[in-house]
Amino acid sequence: MLKQLEAVAAEGETAVLRELTYAQAVREALQLAMTRDEKVFMLGEDIGVYGGAFGVTDGLYEQFGPERVRDTPISEAVIAGAAVGAAMTGMRPVAEIQFMDFITLSMEQLVLQGAKIRFMFGGKATVPLVLRTPAGSGTGAAAQHSESLEAWFVHVPGLKVVMPSTPYDAKGLLLAAIEDDNPVIFVEHKLLYRTKGHVPEGYYTVPLSQSEVKREGRDLTVVATSIMVPRALEAAELLAKEGIELEVVDPRTLKPYDAGTVTQSVIKTGKALVVHEAPKTGGFGGEVVAEIVSGAAFDYLEAPVRRLAGLDVPIPYNRELERTAVPQTEDIVREARALVQGAY
């Protein structure tokens, strides 16, 4: 992040270090984008007067009014369809699906329409929309409000998929997503909303194509997404006391995916652990592993690449069962230690 802040300063933007929560960083990005471009508007359930289910859009209705912060009926199909139509006709909508689970109800508009229109029209039509959606477990919201479905959209040509893990990335990636002329699925983990981090003032973007090394290490590369990034960093601090140094890499954008940064890290460490919350079967981690073992890093591997992911079960309501269903810090510590010590 410090390298990015230096780049921001070099470009003449304000690079004042101050601390914001993840939710505040997302709100600031929305505010800046709407102030900068009158074509940017928001739509979704309870995003206006109520300020959003997680308070992310609080205050924007009062600032920009009901025409640009539009409360919608409880219909995800309508939200996605309206966003696709508005984007095709020159607007830059930022839609919100209140829980990622209910993105299932908008699949026809997103997958059959929004993702394919630019291709089918030979680039003469664009669909510059962003669909924000809170995802993940950890709030006791049970099986229908706790899913991580990002791999579905990674599989769809024409869609971009973003999963920021820090307030800095959340702001910069959201601004880049709003600028992009393609539909972007922007996944925000619910447990990250209250996390804090340094965020520069002013307008800046983070490219939708660059993984980042969040922590440098020598013994093992941990590729982690979303909430698993802070958990991997916590695991790295614990293992450092044992003399084990983890390198933590955050893809940030799952599609397009920057495999080069991961490859270089694995070449350096010789070992890799891929961690995500979504169920292992069909999860994005399988794609990361495939890139590692089929590319330049293969000849440098000193151990099998391991995956640590959610169980193939619906997320339970019971808090202890919920916790068991997805990787926690102690699970990353256990798997990483075993890999480094040659237990596999």
β-pairing verdict for 40-44 and 69-71: parallel
In a domain, 204, yes or no: no
Q: Domain ends where: 166, 198, 230?
A: 198
Q: What is the CATH number of the domain that holds 270?
A: 3.40.50.920
Instruction: Check whether residue 169 and residue 242 sit in a common domain.
Output: no
In a domain, 172, yes or no: yes
Instruction: Check whether residue 319 and residue 289 sit in a common domain.
Output: yes
146: Cα within 13 Å, side-chain hemisphere: 22
Instruction: Check whether residue 192 and residue 237 sit in a common domain.
Output: no
In a domain, 207, yes or no: no
Q: Domain ends where: 198, 231, 262?
A: 198
| Residue 145 is among the residues annotated as catalytic for this protein | yes
Q: How far apart are CA 183 and CA 118, in angstroms?
A: 10
Who has greater pLDDT, 168 or 343?
Answer: 168
In a domain, 286, yes or no: yes
Q: How far apart are CA 61 and CA 65, in angstroms?
A: 5
Instruction: Check whether residue 254 and residue 333 sit in a common domain.
Output: yes
Residue 74, burial from CB neighbour count under 10 angstroms (0-12, 13-18, 19+)? exposed
Instruction: Check whether residue 174 and residue 227 sit in a common domain.
Output: no
In a domain, 301, yes or no: yes
In a domain, 65, yes or no: yes
Structurally, the chain folds into a number of domains equal to 2
Q: Convert the pLDDT of each residue in 8-25 to its tens digit.
A: 444 444 455 799 999 999
Type of residue found at 8? V
Q: What is the CATH number of the domain that holds 110?
A: 3.40.50.970
Residue 27: per-residue pLDDT? 98
Q: Which domain holds residue 269?
A: 212-339
Helix spans in 200-270 (H): 228-240, 259-269
Type of residue found at 101? D
Instruction: Check whether residue 38 and residue 171 sit in a common domain.
Output: yes
Q: Convert the pLDDT of each residue in 261-317 to its tens digit.
A: 999 999 999 999 999 999 999 999 999 999 999 999 999 999 999 999 999 999 999
Please report, for residues 208, 214, 292, the alpha-carbon distance to residue 152 in angstroms, rounded to integers and kept in the order given.
18, 26, 21
Q: Which of 145, 155, 198, 276 is catalytic?
A: 145
Residue 17: per-residue pLDDT? 78
Who has greater pLDDT, 306 or 4?
Answer: 306
Identify the three-state secondary structure at position 154. helix
Beta carbons of 292 and 310 less than 8 angstroms apart: no
Beta carbons of 232 and 222 less than 8 angstroms apart: yes
In a domain, 155, yes or no: yes
Q: Domain ends where: 170, 198, 226?
A: 198
Residue 18: per-residue pLDDT? 92
Instruction: Check whether residue 144 and residue 47 sit in a common domain.
Output: yes
Q: How far apart are CA 84 and CA 59, in angstroms?
A: 25
Q: How far apart are CA 269 and CA 178, in angstroms?
A: 36
In a domain, 118, yes or no: yes
Instruction: Check whether residue 230 and residue 321 sit in a common domain.
Output: yes
